[in-house]
Amino acid sequence: MSFVLITSVAACVAIAVCVLLMLHKISVAGRHLPVTAEWIDELSVERYRPMLRLLDSQDLDFLKSQPGFTPSMAEKLRKQRCQVFRGYLRCLCADFSRICAAIKLLMLHSRRDRPDLAGILVRNQMLFAVGMVLVQARLVMFEAGLCTVDADILVRTFDLMRLELRTLVPAAMPTSA
């Protein structure tokens, strides 16, 4: 009984540490933020569409149906796809961090308080951090062939914050804020 309790507490502490690290990483965003309509438009969700298909099981199923297939081929493909997927995750996290930093900057320089926007920002940062931890954990399991990975919640959260930022920045804003 005490082993189960200790293991549960250790797992909860590990998850809490991961979430806090992700929140810290998200909150410490880039120092130079070109907050313009063009910059925001470049942060398209389309950039991450290939990531959502990268770990699709159809490619592995096709590979398995080919003559000469070996389990090591599937292992190698999963490992390679995971490396590319992690690259996409790093870019997504960096873009999300820049968006959050830009919103914070705009809130800081705003003439009126926006507690509603602050709440949206904190909630979505937390959602993104927890989602990132879950995706990273599932990615490890996917690499071992145990499960699938769905990063859709991360991309949706990114897009929500991008759209929120887009509403705050008028189309005719000067080159940098």
- Quick check: is 29 in a domain? yes
Task: Label residue 176 by pLDDT band (50, 70, 90).
Answer: very low
Q: Mean pLDDT across the stretch 127-156?
A: 91
**pLDDT greater than 50 at residue 52:** yes
- Quick check: is 176 in a domain? no
**pLDDT greater than 70 at residue 25:** no
Domain that holds residue 52: 2-168
Classify residue 27 as exposed, middle or buried by CB count within 10 Å of its CB (0-12, 13-18, 19+).
middle
d(CA 153, CA 171): 28
Q: What percent of the chain has pLDDT over 70?
A: 82
Q: Mean pLDDT across the stretch 100-113?
A: 85
Q: Mean pLDDT across the stretch 97-109?
A: 87
- Quick check: is 97 in a domain? yes
Q: Is the pTM value of this prediction over 0.75?
A: no
**pLDDT greater than 70 at residue 37:** no
Look at 9 and 134; give whichever has higher pLDDT: 134
Tally the domains of the chain. Answer: 1
- Quick check: is 78 in a domain? yes
- Quick check: is 177 in a domain? no
Classify residue 65 as exposed, middle or buried by CB count within 10 Å of its CB (0-12, 13-18, 19+).
exposed
